[in-house]
Amino acid sequence: MTLKFNKRQLQAYFVCGTQDVPGKDLETIVQTALDAGITAYQYRDKGASQLTAPQRLALGRRLRQRCAAAKVPFIVDDDVELALALNADGIHVGQKDDQVTTVLQRVAGKIFVGLSCSTVAEIEIANQIDGIAYIGSGPIFPTTSKADADPVVGLAGLRQLVKVSKRPIVAIGGITVQELGPVAHTGAAGSAVISMLAQSPDIEQTVNAMLAVTEVRP
Ligand SMILES: Cc1ncc(COP(=O)(O)OP(=O)(O)O)c(N)n1
Ligand SMILES: Cc1ncsc1CCOP(=O)(O)O
Ligand SMILES: [Mg+2]
């Protein structure tokens, strides 16, 4: 049984793979973040990751179990077959991944689907596609966690995307604790972060900062 999507899951959204925590144990970091109260976890293991496909599947199974125990949605990045094999709650795809319509047909309502949109034109196309649960927009600020990131969107650009989107938007890219409030004031439903949590000296304190931000009703 998978968790149904709810926009409140976007408030404190942790995105992380082994490549983001070199020399550390991803499971321990994710469990610490779950214990602190993250509202969603995305398994995004790619790029500099050293895992083989079997290792990625085995680790995914353990992370999926930890999220299920915490009743926090477990979302897989990019790979719809991995998402289905792990009985994930959701999958997130970008503009350069499989077509979102193909992914929606493949998952057939079994798991929710998030889509990356960083321009008004991309949002307007997404608005016409039934079945998309949420939008991930960014990079809002410069980021070093994604080598092929789109141009920086900025807070004004994010506000514009929120205004035209029919679905809730989670902001991503270069977000620090200081920027959580300004991001929320654009009307975004939350922040998705890699380094702010993966590199935090106090994950519990950082998650509390994410949870303390109240969404501004647009
Ligand atoms: C919540 C969220 N938003 C955006 C992204 C970026 O997805 P994508 O553009 O497909 O890039 P990669 O993450 O696959 O490098 C995301 N993963 N999560
Ligand atoms: C996956 C992704 N998509 C757009 S920016 C980004 C990286 C976000 O990482 P960080 O929070 O460390 O900037
Ligand atoms: Mg992708």
Domains of the chain: 7-212 (3.20.20.70)
Banded pLDDT at 55 (limits 50, 70, 90) = very high
pLDDT at 214: 72
Residue 25 annotated as binding?
no
Rounded CA-CA distance 92/59 in Å is 18
Q: Which pLDDT belongs to residue 133?
A: 98
User: Are 216 and 185 within 8 A, CB to CB?
Assistant: yes
| Nearest-atom index, ligand 2, CA of 138 | 4
Rounded to an integer, the average pLDDT of 43-57 is 96
Of all residues in the chain, what percent carry a pLDDT higher than 70? 98
DSSP string, 72-106: --EEEES-HHHHHHTT-SEEEE-TTSS-HHHHHHH
Probe residue for ligand 2, chosen from 146, 153, 158 as the CB with the greatest number of ligand atoms within 8 Å? 146
Residues carrying an active site annotation? 44, 116, 146
What is the three-class DSSP state of 134?
A: strand
Average pLDDT over residues 113-135: 98
Tokens of 43: 């398994």
Which ligand has the shortest distance to the CA of 95?
1
Confidence of residue 215 (pLDDT cuts 50, 70, 90): low
Q: How far apart are CA 80 and CA 27, in angstroms?
A: 22
CB atoms within 5 A of ion ligand 3 belong to 78, 94, 97
Residue 79 has pLDDT above 80, yes or no: yes
pLDDT at 39 > cutoff 70: yes
Q: Classify 114 as helix, strand or coil.
A: strand
Query: Closest ligand 1 atom to the C-alpha of 42?
Result: 18
CB atoms within 10 A of CB 137: 29
Sequence-ordered strand ranges (E) for 139-210: 169-172, 190-193
From 63, 137, 66, 79, select the one nearest 111 (Cα to Cα).
79
**Is 7 marked as a binding-site residue?**
no
Q: Which residues pair with 135 in a beta bridge?
A: 115, 169
Ligand 2 pocket, 194 CB below 6 A? Answer: yes
What is the helix, strand, coil percentage profile of the chain, to 5? 40, 15, 40
Q: Is 202 helix (H, G, I), strand (E, B) or coil?
A: coil
Q: Cα of 88 to ligand 2 centre, how many Å?
A: 21
Whether ipTM exceeds 0.90: yes
pLDDT at residue 27 tops 90:
yes
Atom index in ligand 1 nearest the CA of residue 15 equals 18
Read off the pLDDT of residues 6-15 as tens digits, 9 standing for 90 and up: 999 999 999 9
Tell me the whole-structure pTM to 2 decimals.
Answer: 0.98
Is the CB–ligand 1 distance for residue 92 below 6 Å?
A: yes
Arithmetic mean of pLDDT, 151-180: 98
Tell me the Ramachandran region of residue 71: left when phi exceeds 0, alpha when psi lies from -120 to 50, beta otherwise: left
